[in-house]
Structure 1
Amino acid sequence: MLIIALARRSLPLHLAAVWAWSPFVQLEAVNNAHVDLLGGALILTAGLLLTAGKPLRSGVAFGAAVATKLIPVIAAPALLFKRPVRFIAAALTTFVLLYVPYLAVAGAGVLGFLPGYLKEEGYSQRGGTRFGLAQLVSAGPWPQVLSAAALAAVALWVLRRTRPGNAWEQQTVMIGLTLLIVSPNYPWYALMLLPFIVLSRRWEYVAIILALDAIYMLPIKDPFTVPVHQAVLVLAASAVAAGVWRRRRRELQLAVLAGLESSTPDGGGCVSPG
């Protein structure tokens, strides 16, 4: 699918090797066999179908992604740029149908360990490294509040800006910034992110994957570990910000150059470097 998507954008096909030969993928998808691999593949399927003008089929693929593991739901804002009602209806229908057998057997037990997971992983308590960036500027219950506000702002930004021509870039922003803001303890969640880094060529987002790896490799054993985790998140955020700045600077330079070229009279020759 990466090769197909790269070919559609006239990008070098060998970029797919960033995924295929990645040590991160070999460790988390092959050696550790995390199901996030399937979730990421289905999100990519949904994106390919949507950019091809097939919102119903795209919704089915996305509903299957969320049914595989609930985390892929964070990709939704970048998939609502074409006939969102059809997309949402297909996704919800698929999700419900896939869960019916489990609901029939387990009843309320279909939720499994999800409530306990949120508490165990520190998403509903103070301290720890969840919402690590927000903890640098606030305390008490405010990190959760600030992080929720930041996530809502990112989702709205992506929802308003996503078009068929920039869908992969916006998906990188949506998934990448969500992982950065929430700062989960499990790097394999980023298996959803890497395919879109390849397609968008926003290589600075690899810093988020490395940050999650560092957090996982340095589990909390004493109070001194938390500042280390936060420092890693700050470095990742700085890398993303630097990438944005570099891209904006290049776009501005190209715009200025285009303006100079358009202002040159016909037959006037080249614009002087001075």
Structure 2
Amino acid sequence: MAEGWFLLVHAVSPAGRRHKPLHLAGAVLAVATAVALLLVQRRRCRDTRRVALRAWCPAAPFAAVNDAHVDTLGVLLTVAALGTAAEARRGALLGAAIAVKLLPVLTLPGALSGVLAPGVTSRARLRETASVLLTAVGVVALTYLPCLPASGSAVLGHLPGYLQEEGYESGSVDRFALLRLVLPDAWAGPAAVALVALSAWYVLRCGDPERPWDGSLLVTGTALLLTSPGYYWYALLVVALVAMVADGSGSPSPPRAPCSMSRTHCGGGRASRHLRTGWPPRRCSPAYSSGRGRVAAETRGGRVREGRRVGHMGPRGVIGGGV
């Protein structure tokens, strides 16, 4: 799905242009996501001005437009999936979102909110689960199978080496910052998996099927909070889910998850390793930023501080990289 999107942008772009078309495409996706959020809020008869919560978060324009991360396409498809009531359509859209980036898989428990509730019959549980999960798996399979004969195992891209490179494997644990404050490094990974699984079970058991975004936000937010990834654009999904969850009962502030992720990202792996000592993360190094041209937002004391854009496109010529 992501490669198809990049191919479409390339096909409609003027010859010799690289940066601006991707920025414009990112802006189109960001606006389309806002429109999808507005439609969902209107269908729920909620205050559509709550969609401004998403616009208030700097991660939306920074990651979607300036950095042109394809995650925005996955967020758009996820919002559309959670906003529809048809189970098969929801599964198809979620499958497409997962085919763009793996992160929307965390919203599957939310899409099946309450399926394990005591009052639900076994037949209803099986029908709803199969309708969503099988459709999602089918879309992912249809997306990747055509590439399998030519690419083989390379169809997985960088995913196999991602865990080791990002510090999630045992022996080189560099993430799970919050859990490592109270647990040994070797226990952090299993504890994170157990807690995310527990949150997913809670959503499946007690979630409101009329509000699948609530459960999706709970599981996704829990996963990102516990695993402390270093890429702030992962939180684009959280920002959109916050806008969906918001209603007239309160005034939630723009989520700080993207800013805290950016702090970890700019500090490299050492940011989480030195979290317990209060060591301040360094700014993005020019060598790392030159290949990405990204803007970072750092926080200190809950206030957002504007980062800076460094460098230019590197030899790989990729905007919006990352897993």
What band does the TM-score fall into relative to the shorter chain?
0.7 to 0.9
Query: Which one of 165, 180, 201 corresponds to residue 225 of structure 2?
Result: 180
* Matching residue of 1:156: 201
Distance (whole Å) between structure 2 residues aligned to residue 146 and residue 65 of structure 1: 27
Specify which of 177, 199, 203 is matched with residue 252 of structure 2.
Answer: 203
Tell me, in whole angstroms, the C-alpha distance in 1 between the residues paired with 2:161 and 2:228.
Answer: 18
Distance 2:88 2:178 in 1: 37
Tell me the residue number matched to 1:213: 262
Local SS of the residue matching 1:130: coil
Structure 1, residues 178-225: CA drift from partner, whole Å, max 9, x if none? 100111010100111111101212836713232212212322458974
CA contact 1:63–1:94 (8 Å) conserved in 2:
yes
Worse overlay, 159-168 or 85-94: 159-168
Partner of 1:258: none
Q: Gaps (5+ residues) in structure 1?
A: 240-274
> Aligned ranges for residues 117-266 of structure 1 at < 5 Å?
117-126=162-171, 129-201=174-246, 203=252, 206-220=255-269, 225-227=274-276
- Deviation string 1:100-138 (CA, Å, 9 cap, x unpaired) is 121121012212221111100011134654111111112
Q: Distance in 2 between matches of 1:36 and 1:195?
A: 12
Is residue 12 from structure 1 mapped to residue 47 from structure 2 by the alignment? Answer: yes
Give the structure 2 partner of residue 48 of structure 1. Answer: 83
1:63 to 2:117 alignment = no
* Higher RCO (C-alpha 8 Å, min separation 6): 2
8 A Cα contact 1:75 1:175, kept in partner: yes
* SS of equivalent to 2:154: helix
* TM-score (ref. length: structure 1): 0.76
**TM superposition score normalised by structure 2:** 0.65
Q: Secondary structure at the match of 1:96?
A: helix
Q: CA deviation at 1:229?
A: 7.5
For residues 217-255 of structure 1, the C-alpha deviation after alignment (integer angstroms, 9 at most, x for no partner) is 3224589744367999xxx9xx9xxxxxxxxxxxxxxxx
Contact 1:133-1:230 at 8 Å conserved across structures: no
Give the letter for the 1:217 counterpart. Answer: C
May I ask how many residue pairs the two structures share in their alignment?
231
What is the rounded CA distance, in whole Å, between the counterparts of 1:183 and 1:21 in structure 2?
22
Query: 2: distance between equivalents of 1:32 and 1:64?
Result: 22
2-structure distance, mates of 1:102, 1:65: 18
Gaps of 5+ in 2: 1-35, 116-127, 282-298, 303-323
